[in-house]
Amino acid sequence: MRGDANKYIPEWNKYIPEIMSKLKNAKEEEAFSISIDISRFEEIGDREVTGFQNFHFLIDNGISEKVNGKAYARDLGDALESNSKFRFFAKNKRIAIDYNRKESKLYMDYVKKD
């Protein structure tokens, strides 16, 4: 196990209520975003300002695809996946998650299943 394992999960857990609220109120065709206080993540990870980069992954049926190389992105997927309310809500749904560093925003939208 690496030293950086799961250290961002407590910070991501603070965002889950807002993520859930936005997901519940979003129409299936519309994207939404939430602002992220990136400075907290940089402090936690002891990263330089440029250390927290853009990322993208999918949640499919409540399970996040595995994200390699970015502990902060992987920990968001793990935080969502380990939240029973989120897993129940995300059942039979596919959700795209994108973080845009320039805007300090986390974007989410529903993706149609094939």
Question: Which of 1-15, 22-36, 44-58 holds the top average pLDDT?
Answer: 22-36
pLDDT of the residue at 4: 57
- Its pTM surpasses 0.75: yes
Q: Residue 83 — very low, low, confident or very high, per pLDDT cuts 50/70/90?
A: very high
Integer CA distances (angstroms), 93 to 59, 69, 88, 90, 97, in order = 8, 25, 10, 5, 13
Look at residue 51 and tell me whether its pLDDT is greater than 70. Answer: no
Q: Which percentage of the chain shows pLDDT scores above 70? A: 90
